[in-house]
Amino acid sequence: MTDRDINGPGIGRRGFLAAGGALAAAPLIGNGKAQARQHGDSTTADNARRRLGGLEVSAIGLGVQNMSRTYQTTVPSRPEMINIIRAAHDRGISFFDSAEAYGPLEVERILGEGVQPFRDKVVIATKFGWNIDPETGRRGPGLNSRPEHIRTAVEAMLRRLRTDRIDLLYQHRVDPNVPIEDVAGTIKALRSEGKVLHWGLCEMGLNTLRRAHAELPVTAVQSEYSMLWRGPEEQVLPLCEELGIGFVPWSPLGVGFLTGAIDMQTAYADGDIRKGESRFSRENLPANLALVTLLRDWATRKQATAAQIALAWLLAQKPWIAPIPGTTQMAHMVENSNAMAVRFTPDEVRELNAAVAAIKVQGERLPAPVQAFSGVEAPPRAS
């Protein structure tokens, strides 16, 4: 995420960075109401936790995807990434999201080292499913959720994460060549061995989710969801509610867009995924920047930042939603965690939802070759 100033009303992200160092040491959740008042936060422990199926997590997690390589293709300082992970835990964040594909492999190593001192007090989520050699990180074409490959991948994940179990294991994308019942059966066996505690799916087809849940109850679904991309509202969220499955939004800040980090002057480095997303193209940005204006207005109104409003909006949609904003900057982690202190009345939620719905986002969220991996249905099991 770029560190661009947010001009206009509301508290700017750069202004927050100036104060971030002092705030980073102050826990948001752990010391309850007195601690919250001391640091100007109105949150209390009852707003700090969420249930995803049978799994309890902090209401806001930390995505560590970019801790080995940022959107801008720079390589962050590994010691600082460890510091951010540990400071997040100090502030009550107990939900950490990774994947073997991030790095590949390296992000799991960073997370494993970061949480090692308090491993038993946090929830580690990671993902399998791409065609990745679990030892070398070499990526082959397409996907691989064959049962034998899942087992090999999980054994390597456990070593990288320095743990004996994975709290929440997702299938990163649905393999069109492997019945989801075979995947669920493999996870069921890993659960019986104590190596996996809960499982989930990412960006799957709806029928695949039903079949997976019937075979082995699914704890959480992870998909992109934010003010910038509201696709899950139509069918995925209702199905999760019907089945009692939690929902974890990735990219809850719209890859930085909703913080005000992207404007008409933004240029993207080669390799930056946002360069290929048409919602950030010159012709579509003017319409989509209306969301940033809306967030700034609400930031002023609620004495918060645009990022905090965007995250609090997600929390206000359903009590079983737990977003996982990612960052490589300490101050941004502190800022994001403080979104739990932002509260909306029911009338404010209705007002804000109506304002968001009135803004028609222009452009596609992902390049077509990437989008093709979302919404896939697994093949039927052979009779």
* Angle, helix 180-192 to helix 147-161, in steps of 10 degrees: 40
How buried is residue 194: exposed, middle or buried, by Cβ count under 10 Å (0-12/13-18/19+)?
A: exposed
DSSP reduced 3-state for 25: coil
Question: 95-97 and 62-63: which strand pairing?
Answer: parallel
Residue 259: φ, ψ to 5°: -85, -10
Cβ neighbours, 10 Å, residue 337 = 31
Retrieve residue 167's tokens. Answer: 């709290």
Is residue 268 part of the annotated active site? The answer reads: no
What is the CA 270 to chain-centroid distance, rounded?
24
Question: In this structure, are residues 328 and 67 in contact, taking their beta carbons and an 8 Å threshold?
Answer: yes
Question: In this structure, are residues 380 and 179 in contact, taking their beta carbons and an 8 Å threshold?
Answer: yes
What is the CA 280 to chain-centroid distance, rounded?
20
* Residue of 102, 170, 225, 268 marked catalytic: 102
Rounded-to-integer distance, Cα 176 and Cα 165, Å: 27
Which residues, at least 6 apart from 178, have a Cβ–Cβ distance to it below 8 Å?
Answer: 145, 146, 147, 378, 379
DSSP run (H or E) holding 135:
none
Question: In this structure, are residues 306 and 332 in contact, taking their beta carbons and an 8 Å threshold?
Answer: no
How many alpha carbons fall within 13 Å on the CB side of residue 200? 30
Q: Which residues are catalytic?
A: 102
